[in-house]
Amino acid sequence: MPSRRFALSMLAGAALWPGASQAAVFGTRAVRIVVPNGAGGAADLTARLVAERLAGPLGQAVIIDNKPSAGGVVAAEQVARAEPDGHTLLLVSSGTAVSAALFKTLAFDTLKDFAPISLLATFDLAIVVKAAGRFDTLGALLAYAHANPGKLNIGTPQIGTTQNLAAELLKVTAGIDAQVIPFNGTPAMVSALRGGEIDAGIDILGPLMPQVAARALVPLAVLGEQRAAQLPDVPTVRSSGGALARFAVSSWNGLAAPARTPAAVIARLNSEVQAVLAQPDVIRRLAELNLVAQGSTPAQLGQRMESDIRRWSDVIARAKIPRQ
């Protein structure tokens, strides 16, 4: 099965280093986490928080190496080619899955060239409208879209982002004819939304919260499986029922290593990551960043990656988004 394919590297690696001692695995040099995003964002802050807490248990410094690039391709390629010894890791995310679906050719295979370690966190998306606008519920917005084909505009960050593809998935699932308008980042989208240039916007909850707190934007629904802790009174999209009853989209990030990393190394890293994510102050700090601490087994991360690649490949094809 394909999901097993993504996990083969951690199993095959055991034969390469069968006698590796878990205590000695990280005793030679610093561990480097390559982050395919710039400093200061949710991905970077998550990686730094986890890195700080891993250094002690691993007995080595854990450093962050920011390598922002379109779709994280540069960072992923570098880690795919790194020595598979657990000292070079990659912060993977829902964006990694999008890139695998969006790019025609990559210098690596997202499912074969990485060994999953663990999820780190998930973060909610929301659909918002301007305050005192024409829509006060998701039902009202969808009803307008059904009655006025092609007239509803939904803004998102750049084309090919999880938020952008979530908007396209909402169109397909709800059976509405709406225009998805990509903007060059959240600030530009918010400005257009507040100025009445677009009817609604979909983005990660974190960047939207200041506007929501200021009552400039109103969240109609969150896109995850459950209500967001930050917005307990805001319903989920799936609670609308009907065709949307199984609709759910959330962003996530996690850790992966190069393929052929020994199974003992993956197991050690997974164990230490779970311990970090269970610490109350880590959970609290991630919540302050509008993230939910969520670990996983390596297999669960692999399955999530593979499932997202299939889903976004289908959405890209249906939306006729040109593959790059």
Alpha-carbon gap, residue 63 to 51, rounded angstroms: 7
Pairing of strands 200-204, 125-130: antiparallel
100 has a pLDDT exceeding 90: yes
- 2-6, 29-33, 247-251: which range is least confident on average? 2-6
Angle at 79 between CA 254 and CA 184, to 5 degrees: 65
In terms of Cα–Cα distance, which of 120, 121, 112, 118 is closest to 258? 112
Phi, psi angles (nearest 5°) of residue 280? -55, -40
The answer, yes or no, to whether residue 306 has pLDDT greater than 50, is: yes
What average pLDDT does range 100-112 have in this prediction?
Answer: 93
Max Cα distance, the chain (Å): 67
Helix, strand or coil for residue 126?
strand
Whether residue 82 has pLDDT greater than 80:
yes
**Residue ranges of the domains in the chain?**
2-123+251-319, 125-244
pLDDT tier, 14 (very low <50, low <70, confident <90, very high otherwise): very low
Decide whether 2-123+251-319 matches 125-244 in CATH topology.
Answer: yes
List beta partners, residue 180.
154
CB contact at 8 A, 182 and 159: yes
Question: b or e along 76-102 (b: 16 or more beta carbons within 10 Å of the residue's beta carbon)?
Answer: bbbbbebebbbbbbbbbbbbbbbbbbb
Q: What pLDDT does residue 140 have?
A: 97
**How high is the pLDDT of residue 21?**
45
pLDDT digits (tens, 9 = 90+) for 175-233: 999 999 999 989 999 999 999 999 999 999 999 999 999 999 999 999 999 999 999 99
Helix (H, G, I), strand (E, B) or coil at 287: helix
279 pLDDT higher than 50 = yes
Look at residue 202 and give its three-state secondary structure.
strand
Sheet holding 125-130, edge to edge: 178-182, 152-156, 200-204, 125-130, 217-222
Residue labelled with tokens 């960047």:
207
pLDDT band (50, 70, 90) for residue 311: very high
Q: How far apart are the first and last CA of the chain?
A: 28
Superfamily of 2-123+251-319 according to CATH: Bordetella uptake gene, domain 1 (3.40.190.150)
Q: How far apart are CA 217 and CA 214, in angstroms?
A: 8
- The pLDDT-based confidence of 19 (bands split at 50, 70, 90) is very low
| pLDDT above 90: percentage of residues in the chain | 81
pLDDT of residue 25: 59
Domain 125-244 has CATH 3.40.190.10: yes
Q: What is the C-alpha separation between 25 and 80, in angstroms, rounded?
A: 20
Contacts of residue 308, defined as CB under 8 A and 6 or more positions apart, other chains included, come to: 94, 97, 98
pLDDT at res. 26: 64
